[in-house]
Structure 1
Amino acid sequence: MNIISEFPKKFIGTYAVDTLHGLVIEPKCTYLIQKETITALKSELDSIPELEFRNNQVYDKSENKFYKTFRKGDSVSFTIERIDTIFSFAKNEIAKAYKSSLILNEQVDGKYQTNILKLTTSGVKYITLGTKNDFTKLQSELKIPFETIMEENDTVHVVLTPSRADFRKLLRKEGFDFESNFLFK
């Protein structure tokens, strides 16, 4: 596995699950896009203090943004786009490339949270490891050594310490709780 300072060209692009959910990989960052269409009566919009209807657009005061609207009778529809940065080569982030996978490590409180981007024939698979089910699956199938961190008699974190061979096997696994397939757009 090689540490990289930008994403390889074969990963660069825009991918989508549907028209409302997407993934963008640029040379220096990757982010998720989620769009949500909101439909409300104009009178309902007027009662929301953060929103203002001006010149056939909805103005969100908290975001300082205008949204294009579509009107049908008394109803007003507009689409909000949310962007969530997954990785940006920040000081606490390290990316590694291995074959057709990118391993995105973010250091949080001295430990690493790992996300994986796997290039497939139809797009990219995005995997976030971190649930109890993921841990149970990995333990039953790979027997990776781990340390349990507890606070107030409750498990807070489980730190896995896989060997290189275990990690390569982990990259071939499927069926994690937070696993999304994004298709080439």
Structure 2
Amino acid sequence: MKKYFILAAFAVAVVSCKDHGLNNSFIYFSAAQPTNVDEITVFPKKFVRTYTMDYSHRLIVEPKCAYIKEIETITAIKSELDSIPELEFRNNQVFDKSENKPYKTFVKGDTITFEIERLDTIFSFAENEIAKEYKSSLILNKEIDGKYQTSILKLSTVVAKHIQLGTKKDFDKLNTELKIPFKTVIEENDTLHVILTPSRADFRKLLRREGFEYESNYLFK
């Protein structure tokens, strides 16, 4: 039974360069946020650094992309690794034959522990992506069918906060506190999502809010 657990853990862990975004967002914007702020084509040098949540989770901002690095640690004995066709124990390292690369490996007696990195892209300046710098934050907009899904990186020399807007709970919070104009999109009597049209002043107030459902905090070390 244990070898099947190892196989399943490996299958889940081997995922790279996928989009790291909130699925089925309830909140969209009618335009890239904030309005009347120029787009940027590269992230400012002052923000380019690595922020750490813990050993297994890091937020990395590079000049032309931002991504989250997650490290999955898998422990097995050699006979269990032999049951996974994609893996081979070679020169004291676990080698992934399908990816043609070794994993960082630790060996203690018969126990083998190896680490698999997963890179989840937040933003990459693709054709449908618009970034803006505003109030010591990077506002990341992705155009989807003429509307925009927006996330926020609040960055400093010490801490970083990644905020993904937005769930229905986020919308209820914003609607109660800020009263941003919005349009509701309904299909077959079901509310699919809302499209907000904030002024720049509205978005500045939104930026000050805390307690969104999808917030992740990191430290610069």
TM-score (norm 1): 0.92
Task: Note the C-alpha offset of 1:157.
Answer: 2.4
Residue 161 of structure 1 aligns with an amino acid whose one-letter code is T
The alignment partner of 2:175 has SS state of helix
Aligned to 1:81: 117
1:173 aligns with 2:193: no
The alignment partner of 1:3 has SS state of coil
Residue 91 of structure 1 aligns with an amino acid whose one-letter code is E
Unaligned runs of 5+ in 2: 1-36
Task: Note the C-alpha offset of 1:100.
Answer: 0.6
Task: Note the C-alpha offset of 1:119.
Answer: 2.1
Residue 32 of structure 1 aligns with an amino acid whose one-letter code is I
Structure 1 residue aligned with 2:129, among 61, 80, 93? 93
Where do residues 1-185 of structure 1 align in structure 2 (5 Å cutoff)?
A: 1-120=37-156, 122-185=158-221
Unaligned runs of 5+ in 1: none
From the superposition, tell whether residues 106 and 39 of structure 1 become closer, same or farther in structure 2 (CA, over 3 Å): same
User: In structure 2, what is the Cα distance between the partners aligned to 1:172 and 1:125?
Assistant: 12
List structure 1 segments (4+ residues) > 6 angstroms apart after TM superposition.
none
Task: Note the C-alpha offset of 1:152.
Answer: 4.3
Aligned residues: 185
* Percent identity between the two aligned chains: 71
Task: Using the TM superposition, name which of 62-71 and 133-142 deviates more.
Answer: 62-71
- Aligned CA-pair RMSD: 1.6
Q: Is the 8 A contact 1:146 1:161 kept in 2?
A: yes
Q: Between Structure 1 and Structure 2, which shows a larger proportion of strand residues?
A: 1
Task: Note the C-alpha offset of 1:121.
Answer: 5.9
